[in-house]
């Protein structure tokens, strides 16, 4: 990408899009385009066509999506499949129609089968049944991958798909019910600390294992791959290490200074037993995550304390 290239970051106010925007700015790109939801509803076909016609971006990062944690996915399956299918179909199709030079589609590690071998290689896509708590979201993301590959094959487009592992960091959603595990735990332990609660609930059995990538590392990997990766094959982005949910809860409690008990609540679902990505394709290209989990948790907690979320606690 040339320094004056026009780059559209779809979802630039979200966790991922915001981090990609910061990374591009740090690299000196000034011709960045973003639209908030009130300015442009990406589910609306005509509005997206009109936007591409006016702006004519040369590069697109497709980081706009409806996202949420295990409970949000299980509670709003229609929203997760509809919004994501519409957003990505509109953007991918208009990127083709308006000769976008390169597009990056951001997927998710939940595209892989629930019980596939660990760590999960890119080749395991569509090898088995998906995790039921997020199947509609995963199906939408798989459709996005297949759209990119189909436009490459039929029209010679350059649309690449990257699969990030579970993410966290500044700008995350800290809603107690609909967020992912790290922001939920940060807010719960913070509340527990300031109210002096004797215990804080942690959903599920605490046994599942997850891999967590700091969002600025993800943005760095996306920038790296946008410059260097041209293949139609998907590529995983992760750290190559995972942690049990109970261990994670202890680590978050330690960062925050919560001294009470952790109370597991098995009435809530565990979701997939383990999600660890095989990142050898990415490391062989020369990229590696930089932020260890404790450092990322500290940075995220600092951000949380300065955000309006802390005042809601």
271 binds ligand GFB (CB under 6 A): yes
What residues from 190 to 219 belong to the interface with ligand GFB (CB under 6 A)? 202-204, 208, 210
- Name beta bridge partners: 14: none
What residues from 55 to 84 belong to the interface with ligand GFB (CB under 6 A)? 69-71, 73
Question: How is residue 26 written in tokens?
Answer: 């740090």
Q: Which letter does DSSP use for residue 121 in this model?
A: P
Question: How is residue 5 written in tokens?
Answer: 């290239």
d(CA 76, CA 70): 10
Per-residue x/- track, 131-170, ligand GFB (CB under 6 A): --xx--x----------------------------x----
3-state secondary structure 8-33: EEECCCCHHHHHHHHHHHHCCCCCEE
Pairing mode of beta strands 59-62, 32-33: unpaired
- Name beta bridge partners: 212: 166
For ligand GFB, which is the closer residue by CB, 57 or 144? 144
- Name beta bridge partners: 199: 261
CA dihedral 183, 189, 190, 194 (to 10 degrees): 160
State the Cα angle at 300 between 302 and 105, rounded to 5°.
150
In this chain, which of 19, 92, 245, 279 binds ligand GFB, going by CB under 6 A? 245
Specify whether the CB–CB gap between 226 and 220 falls below 8 A.
Answer: no
What residues from 283 to 312 belong to the interface with ligand GFB (CB under 6 A)? none
270 binds ligand GFB (CB under 6 A): yes
Question: How many residues bind to ligand GFB according to rule CB under 6 A?
Answer: 26
Q: Among the options 112, 137, 168, 214, which is catalytic?
A: 137
For ligand GFB, which is the closer residue by CB, 224 or 268? 268
* Helix pair angle (15-26, 215-228), 10° resolution: 60
CB of 166 to ligand GFB, least distance (A): 4
Task: Point out which span in 92-100, 212-220, 254-262, 265-273 binds ligand GFB (CB under 6 A).
Answer: 265-273
In this chain, which of 268, 303, 305, 307 binds ligand GFB, going by CB under 6 A? 268
137 is catalytic: yes
Binding site for ligand GFB (CB under 6 A): 69-71, 73, 108, 110, 133-134, 137, 166, 179-181, 184-185, 202-204, 208, 210, 245, 268-271, 275
**What positions carry a catalytic annotation?**
137
């Amino acid at each position: 990408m040339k320094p004056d290239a026009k780059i559209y970051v779809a979802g630039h106010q979200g966790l991922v899009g915001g981090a990609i925007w910061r990374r591009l700015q740090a690299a000196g790109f000034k011709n960045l385009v973003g639209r908030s939801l009130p300015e442009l509803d990406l589910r609306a076909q005509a509005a997206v066509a009109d936007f591409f016609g006016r702006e004519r971006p040369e590069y697109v990062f497709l980081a706009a999506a409806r996202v949420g944690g295990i409970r949000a996915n299980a509670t709003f399956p229609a929203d997760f499949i509809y919004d994501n299918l519409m957003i990505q179909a509109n953007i991918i199709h208009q990127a083709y129609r308006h000769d976008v030079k390169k597009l990056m589609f951001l997927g998710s590690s939940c595209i892989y089968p629930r019980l596939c071998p660990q760590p999960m290689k890119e080749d395991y896509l569509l090898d088995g049944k998906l995790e039921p708590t997020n199947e509609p979201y995963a199906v939408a993301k798989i459709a996005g991958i297949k759209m990119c590959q189909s436009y490459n094959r039929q029209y010679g487009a350059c649309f690449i798909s990257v699969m990030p592992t579970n993410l966290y960091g500044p700008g995350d959603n800290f809603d107690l019910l609909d967020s992912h595990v790290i922001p939920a735990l940060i807010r719960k332990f913070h509340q527990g600390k300031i109210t002096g609660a004797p215990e804080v609930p942690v959903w599920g059995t605490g046994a599942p294992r997850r891999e967590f990538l700091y969002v600025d590392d993800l943005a760095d990997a996306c920038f790296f791959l946008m410059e260097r990766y041209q293949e139609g094959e998907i590529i995983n982005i992760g750290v190559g290490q995972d942690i049990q949910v109970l261990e994670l809860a202890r680590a978050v409690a330690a960062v925050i200074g919560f001294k009470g008990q952790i109370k597991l609540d098995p009435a809530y679902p565990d979701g997939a037993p383990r999600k660890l990505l095989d990142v050898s394709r990415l490391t062989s290209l020369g990229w590696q995550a930089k932020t260890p989990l404790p450092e990322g948790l500290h940075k995220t907690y600092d951000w949380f304390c300065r955000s309006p979320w802390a005042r809601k606690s």
